[in-house]
Each structure stands twice: as structure tokens, then as C-alpha cells.
Amino acid sequence: MFKLSKVNIANTALIIAAFAFTVYFGYNNYHEKKRLQIENAELFGKIEQLEQSIAKNNQIIAQREQEKAQDAMSIKQLQEQMKDALKNNQCANDFMPSNVSDWMRSGKN
């Protein structure tokens, strides 16, 4: 039989321990990588959902702004029509005391 010195035994044990740690950490690294890939895919899906929600909300906001602008134009047109209708009306052009006009504006007539 061959004779192993303490140094050879220590070196062999050190090599075996290094190999075991390499396998252990490699295995853990592999599983951690898989877990992170799954988590990354889930987060990517959530980001896509948020982007779709943002696009939908932006579309709704743009539609509301357009409706608001159309309402403002309608109000302006109605005001112009009312001015045109009242400009030749004698009653509309007569002076009215402030307390009477205030009473009429209050809606308690």
C-alpha cells in the first residue's frame, strides 16, 4: 500500500471540500436564477398591464378634454344666440332696478 502523508490527506480533503462547495453553490445559483427569471416574467406582465391601463386612462382623459372643449363651444354658441335673440327685444334693453334683477337671478320668482 502507499503511504499518505498528512499534507496529502489535507490536500485531498481540501479539494473534496472545494468541489462540494462548488457543486452546492452552483446548484443554489441555478435555482436562484430560475426563481428570478420567473419573478422577472411576473413583473414584466404587471408592467404590461400597467402600460395598458395608462394608455386606456390617457385615452379617456383625451376624450374628456375633447368633450369639454365641445361643451365650451356649445356654451359660447348658445350665449351668442341668446344675445342675438335679445338685442332687438325692448324689454331686455329696459333698465331694471338692481333689487328686481337680483330677485330674478335668485330664482325665487
Number of domains in the chain: 1
DSSP string, the chain: -PPPPHHHHHHHHHHHHHHHHHHHHHHHHHHHHHHHHHHHHHHHHHHHHHHHHHHHHHHHHHHHHHHHHHHHHHHHHHHHHHHHHHTT-HHHHS---HHHHHHHHHT--
Specify if 1 maps to a domain.
no
Report the distance separating Cα 84 and Cα 74, nearest Å: 15
Specify if 92 maps to a domain.
yes
Question: Could you list the residue range(s) of the whole structural domain that residue 88 is in?
Answer: 6-106
Specify if 67 maps to a domain.
yes
pTM for the whole structure: 0.52
Q: Of 20-24, 40-44, 86-90, which gets the smallest average pLDDT?
A: 86-90
Specify if 65 maps to a domain.
yes
Higher per-residue pLDDT: 95 or 53 = 53
pLDDT per position as a tens digit, 46-68:
999 999 999 999 999 999 999 99
